[in-house]
Structure 1
Amino acid sequence: MTDTADVEYRVVAENVQKAFGDNKVLKGVSFTVARGTATAIIGPSGSGKTTLLRTLNALDRADAGVIRVDDIEIDFSTPTPKPEVRRFQSRSGFVFQGHNLFPHKTVLQNIIEGPVIVQKRPKEEAIADAVELLDQVGLAAKKDQYPYQLSGGQQQRVGIARALALKPKLVLFDEPTSALDPELVGEVLSVIKDLADEGWTLVIVTHEIQFAKQVSSQVLFTDGGIILEKGPPDEVIGNPKEARTRQFLERVLNPL
């Protein structure tokens, strides 16, 4: 693998494989993500998009392959000590489809949970950062409310603030708008676009094709457990080389 001292890439993945029983979900996936860029992963249901994303945080541990996130590299074909896996996981923040907020905690309490409990940061520092992040996602006035008092879009924005509160090197989004009513999608996509514009390193699994084209520097099209096509959005979405990519985009962009 490339020298881990090389700072050009935030993520380097080589030959990543993952199976659930007899179902080979990832069949040797390789790609890189440059620092300060957004990468969109698109593809049909069951193509391995979410599993690929989850391997980048070891939420799903790969069966084989090497993944480097920032300065931590793991060869998943060999046993890895738990402390090293935790260090690997600490380099990224994860935004889930379904918010995954603690229902019995306020917005502020949800955001400071990770920094205080996991990272052992001073509570006062975590609160100050959380207030700043809530202002960034347009929810400063909601800090003392509970998740049930928020709309789905607001809950997802809290989820984004919670991920950012960990000060990650990489932010992973798993179809962040798929559980939202259509009228709430725009507010979440706007926050993600702002993060991309600010130079965060993002990897986004999304079915919002036009958003992927607008916000990303790189698009990965997955199908059948492999990356079938990758490149700039103007190429992969605007002028795809592969017939399967063209077929998928035609069906998604022109459903009738």
Structure 2
Amino acid sequence: MGDLRVRARGLQKSFGDNHVLHGIDLDVAAGTTSVLIGPSGSGKTTILRSLNVLERPDSGTIRIDDVEVDFATLPDKGGSARQQIAALRAQSGMVFQAHNLFPHKTVIQNVIEGPVQVQKRPLEQAVDEAKALLDQVGLSDKADQYPFQLSGGQQQRVGIARALALKPRVMLFDEPTSALDPELVGEVLSVIKELAAEGWTTVLVTHEIRFAEHVADQVLFLDEGVVVERGPSAQVIGDPREERTQQFLKRILDPA
């Protein structure tokens, strides 16, 4: 798979008595797109949030580039734990189901917030880069507008620009179109497709199976916290080997 950008091993996660992840392994090569599919509650979003340490795995290791955290030995709290989590989190940019923009800030203020406040980059540089990113996602004319003045699809594209502004090593998309009206889905998917074509490393959770089939270098089908099947999209979606995968895809693609 070429140079690995993301390597996760043995990820375990429980919420109380609910054991959500059962020893998940994940490899993502640099410049590729990996798509996680599966029924609701299968653990897809928990994997994504674990990579960004929005959810802290109970055990297992995650490495993004040269930053690795072993969650089995990570202290529960303290300076060392915070530093390790911050270092790993800084490697990725997260795009959520809901755009989560600051409503009182303009579009460009939303995009520069992370680079200026978190990464301490010079304001002028951050603004120039933000303008370029807004142009990239087709929103150069919306820089001075507020989120309430934008459609849902436009707000989500601002969310993508905001994540890109942090210059992450990997982009994480958590069902980025699930909260959108159907007619707005395409404009967000087209941006993700362009990022994949440009060589961004991405991990995407989505129910848009046909989109996944076209954009993914590898697809992982999850069910009940385990990876049931993984491989190229042509195999996992086009010709799945596992019965559970076949059943899921039939229900999604041929509901009648």
Cα shift at 1:70: 1.2
Query: Partner of 2:172 in structure 1?
Result: 172
One-letter amino acid of the counterpart of residue 165, structure 1: A
For residue 19 of structure 1, give the secondary structure of its aligned residue in structure 2: strand
Written as runs of structure 1 = structure 2, the 5 A alignment for 1:21-36 is 21-36=16-31
Q: Does 1:193 align with 2:188?
A: no
Quote the Cα distance in structure 1 between the aligned partners of 2:214 and 2:124.
37
Cα shift at 1:255: 1.2
> What TM-score comes out, normalization by structure 2 length?
0.97
Q: Does 1:66 align with 2:61?
A: yes
Quote the Cα distance in structure 2 between the aligned partners of 1:33 and 1:152.
30
Aligned residues: 250
Query: Partner of 2:33 in structure 1?
Result: 38
Quote the Cα distance in structure 2 between the aligned partners of 1:240 and 1:125.
47
Quote the Cα distance in structure 2 between the aligned partners of 1:41 and 1:168.
20
Quote the Cα distance in structure 1 between the aligned partners of 2:63 and 2:229.
21
Structure 1 residue corresponding to 2:72, chosen from 77, 87, 90: 77
One-letter amino acid of the counterpart of residue 118, structure 2: V
User: 1:131-168 deviations in whole A, cap 9, x for unaligned?
Assistant: 00000000000000000000000000000000000000
Quote the Cα distance in structure 1 between the aligned partners of 2:179 and 2:53.
23
Quote the Cα distance in structure 1 between the aligned partners of 2:65 and 2:102.
29
User: 1:179-206 deviations in whole A, cap 9, x for unaligned?
Assistant: 0000000000000000000000000000
Root-mean-square deviation over aligned CA pairs = 0.7
Quote the Cα distance in structure 2 between the aligned partners of 1:50 and 1:88.
18
One-letter amino acid of the counterpart of residue 16, structure 2: G
One-letter amino acid of the counterpart of residue 132, structure 2: E
Query: Partner of 1:251 in structure 2?
Result: 251
Quote the Cα distance in structure 2 between the aligned partners of 1:226 and 1:167.
31
Quote the Cα distance in structure 2 between the aligned partners of 1:69 and 1:148.
35
Quote the Cα distance in structure 2 between the aligned partners of 1:176 and 1:152.
11
Quote the Cα distance in structure 2 between the aligned partners of 1:47 and 1:84.
28
Deviates more, 1:189-198 or 1:82-91: 82-91
Query: Partner of 1:47 in structure 2?
Result: 42
Gaps of 5+ in 1: 1-6
User: 1:81-105 deviations in whole A, cap 9, x for unaligned?
Assistant: 2112101100000000000000000
Query: Partner of 1:4 in structure 2?
Result: none
Quote the Cα distance in structure 1 between the aligned partners of 2:12 and 2:84.
20
Query: Partner of 1:3 in structure 2?
Result: none
User: 1:111-130 deviations in whole A, cap 9, x for unaligned?
Assistant: 00000000000010000000
Cα shift at 1:78: 1.1
Written as runs of structure 1 = structure 2, the 5 A alignment for 1:1-256 is 8-80=3-75, 81=80, 82-256=82-256
Quote the Cα distance in structure 2 between the aligned partners of 1:16 and 1:83.
20
One-letter amino acid of the counterpart of residue 105, structure 2: K
One-letter amino acid of the counterpart of residue 54, structure 2: L
One-letter amino acid of the counterpart of residue 12, structure 1: R
Quote the Cα distance in structure 1 between the aligned partners of 2:65 and 2:204.
17
> What TM-score comes out, normalization by structure 1 length?
0.97
Quote the Cα distance in structure 1 between the aligned partners of 2:6 and 2:207.
22
Quote the Cα distance in structure 2 between the aligned partners of 1:125 and 1:96.
26
Percent identity of the aligned residues? 65
Quote the Cα distance in structure 2 between the aligned partners of 1:123 and 1:19.
41
One-letter amino acid of the counterpart of residue 56, structure 1: L
One-letter amino acid of the counterpart of residue 43, structure 2: G
One-letter amino acid of the counterpart of residue 20, structure 2: V
Quote the Cα distance in structure 2 between the aligned partners of 1:79 and 1:42.
29
